[in-house]
């Protein structure tokens, strides 16, 4: 007997959650902790990615701003020039996204440090990074794999934000004062 739509969605959700949890079990947490250190050392942080990885990058950029750090999204009209002392965090599941690869190469040429978050440690993008943070996903289904990568990466970066908030002593009032209010 086929599943009802409600049961099919519930089953798909449970399967996705299982894959995200399995992926997070394989994450190299020390590399995420190192990212937290690099974020506090950088003069400014630029975060980038394309497609859904780009949306994860934007969410992380917003979290960095909430923590009181200076963060920008390359391509936005108010993004300044990158330079030595800056950090670029590039997110790509496959590590083969042309736009993201271009930005990592450009950032390095400008003297910025580059951290690549990917699921493919020997990808072209990973090769251009000064640091590589692996979020291990399987290639069983590329659409599901990407979803697993993005969800797991988002959760990992929120964990980095929580660590940063504690280290920087960001209290609820400071967080609220930085939260968007032109909504």
Task: Report helix, strand or coil for 46.
Answer: strand
Distances (CA, A) of 90 to 18, 62, 154, 177: 26, 15, 13, 28
Give how far the C-alpha of residue 163 lies from the chain's centroid of Cα atoms, to the nearest Å.
15
Among this protein's residues, is 173 annotated catalytic?
no
The one catalytic residue among 18, 150, 173, 183: 150
For the four alpha carbons of 128, 134, 139 and 141, in that order, the dihedral sign comes to negative
Which residues lie below 8 Å from residue 3, measured CB to CB, with a gap of 6+? 11
- The catalytic site residues sit at 150
């Amino acid at each position: 007997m086929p599943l009802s739509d409600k049961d099919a969605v519930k089953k798909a959700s449970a399967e996705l959650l299982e894959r995200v949890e399995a992926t997070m079990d394989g994450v190299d947490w020390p590399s995420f902790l190192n990212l937290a250190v690099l974020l506090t050392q950088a003069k400014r942080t630029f975060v980038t990615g394309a497609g859904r990885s780009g949306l994860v990058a934007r969410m992380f950029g917003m979290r960095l701003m909430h923590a009181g750090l200076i963060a920008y999204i390359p391509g936005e009209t108010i993004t300044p020039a990158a330079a030595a002392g800056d950090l670029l965090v590039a997110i790509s599941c496959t590590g083969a996204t042309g736009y993201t690869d271009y930005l990592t190469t450009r950032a390095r040429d400008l003297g910025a440090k580059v951290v690549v978050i990917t699921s493919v440690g020997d990808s072209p993008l990973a090769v251009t990074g000064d640091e590589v943070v692996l979020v291990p996903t399987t290639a069983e289904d590329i659409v599901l794999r990407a979803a697993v990568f993005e969800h797991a990466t988002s959760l990992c970066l929120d964990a980095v934000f929580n660590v940063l908030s504690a280290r920087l002593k960001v209290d609820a009032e400071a967080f609220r004062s930085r939260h968007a209010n032109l909504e």
